[in-house]
């Protein structure tokens, strides 16, 4: 019995905090909730002066309501980094609590790949959808993103690690979530979009540390 209990404890800890290769897998959020989400453990040792986030997601919500795609909160700012879908508008991108919008003229139900980058020196934001760039915009020039972060998939954080709302939750699949502490070049973003190797150094889907809460499942990806 003692050996069994020890095995169960070690298995639980490995699942919650261990490093997992999530290649060709996705987190599935099958229904609305305010208590189902995934916490990602980042490899950060200093504040961010620049970053790039890339990921795939798949949902039917886009014509129905808004939802959170990627939520990075610090104790100073709950919307330190936020990628959010706003119904009838498109993508909302936030750094340090300030928001800019990237409009989407037509909504289709299909897997989507996005990459977004920001740098403090210029404030320039790039937003790529399915390998195609939108017009560059500027946001929070001179700002520094805090490194002690709570990174959540499936919910938007209105406070550090919590204050979730059902009507902001993601219903669908999300995967290939990678993050770098620098701005990827257009060629590098094209490489990532086409599935080529380009090692991320903040969040690495191929060596992911995560913790699941609530009704979230790991399934094979539905995109190539």
pLDDT 10s digit of each residue in the chain, 224 long? 444 333 333 333 334 657 899 999 999 999 999 999 999 999 888 999 999 999 999 999 998 999 999 999 999 999 999 999 999 899 999 999 999 999 987 778 899 999 999 999 999 999 999 999 999 999 999 999 998 999 999 999 999 989 999 999 999 999 999 999 999 999 999 999 999 878 899 999 999 999 999 999 999 999 98
Tell me, what's the pLDDT at 18? 72
**E-state strands within 24-180:** 25-29, 37-40, 50-59, 67-73, 81-86, 90-95, 98-103, 112-119, 124-129, 132-133, 137-138, 150-153, 172-180
**Residue 56 burial class via C-beta count within 10 angstroms: exposed 0-12, middle 13-18, buried 19 and up:** buried
Gap between the Cα atoms of 183 and 121, Å rounded: 11
Question: Rounded to whole angstroms, how far apart are CA atoms 128 and 93?
Answer: 12
Are 92 and 84 in contact, with CB atoms under 8 Å apart? yes
The SS3 of residue 154 is coil
The H or E element spanning position 8 is helix 2-17
pLDDT for 16 equals 62
Fold topology of 25-220 = Jelly Rolls (2.60.120)
Alpha-carbon separation of residue 214 from 45, 116, 177, 189, 191 (angstroms): 29, 28, 20, 33, 34
Element (H, E) at 101: strand 98-103
Alpha-carbon torsion 140, 144, 149, 153, what sign?
Answer: positive
Contacting residues for 199 by C-beta, under 8 A, at least 6 apart: none
Structure tokens at 176: 């290939």
Tokens of 201: 């150094």
pLDDT of residue 11: 35
Residues 87 and 102: their CA atoms lie apart, in Å, by 12
Query: Which pLDDT belongs to residue 4?
Result: 39
Give the pLDDT confidence score for residue 224 in this predicted structure.
Answer: 80
Q: Please choose, from the candidates 54, 183, 43, the residue with its C-alpha nearest in 3D space to the C-alpha of residue 121.
A: 183
Q: Give the model's pLDDT for residue 70.
A: 98
Give the C-alpha distances (Å, rounded to integers) separating 97 from 103, 143, 174, 175: 19, 11, 24, 25
């Amino acid at each position: 019995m003692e050996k069994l209990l020890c095995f169960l404890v070690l298995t639980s800890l490995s699942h919650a905090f261990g490093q997992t290769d999530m290649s060709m897998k996705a987190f599935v959020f099958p229904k609305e909730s305010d208590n189902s989400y995934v916490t990602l453990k980042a490899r950060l040792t200093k504040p961010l002066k620049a970053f790039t986030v890339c990921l795939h997601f798949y949902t039917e919500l886009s014509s129905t309501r808004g939802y959170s795609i990627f939520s990075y909160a610090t104790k100073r700012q709950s919307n330190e980094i936020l990628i959010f879908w706003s119904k009838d508008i498109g993508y909302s991108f936030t750094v340090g609590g300030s928001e800019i919008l990237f409009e989407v003229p037509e909504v289709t139900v299909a897997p989507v790949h996005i990459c977004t980058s920001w740098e403090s020196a210029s404030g320039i934001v790039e937003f790529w959808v399915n390998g195609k760039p939108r017009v560059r915009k500027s946001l929070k020039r001179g700002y520094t993103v805090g490194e002690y972060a709570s990174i959540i998939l499936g919910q938007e954080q209105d406070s550090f690690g919590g204050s979730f709302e059902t009507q902001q939750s993601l219903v669908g699949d999300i995967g290939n979530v990678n993050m770098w502490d620098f701005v990827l070049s257009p060629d590098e973003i094209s490489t990532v979009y086409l599935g080529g190797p380009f090692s991320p150094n903040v969040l690495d889907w191929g060596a992911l540390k995560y913790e699941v809460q609530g009704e979230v499942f790991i399934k094979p990806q539905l995109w190539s």
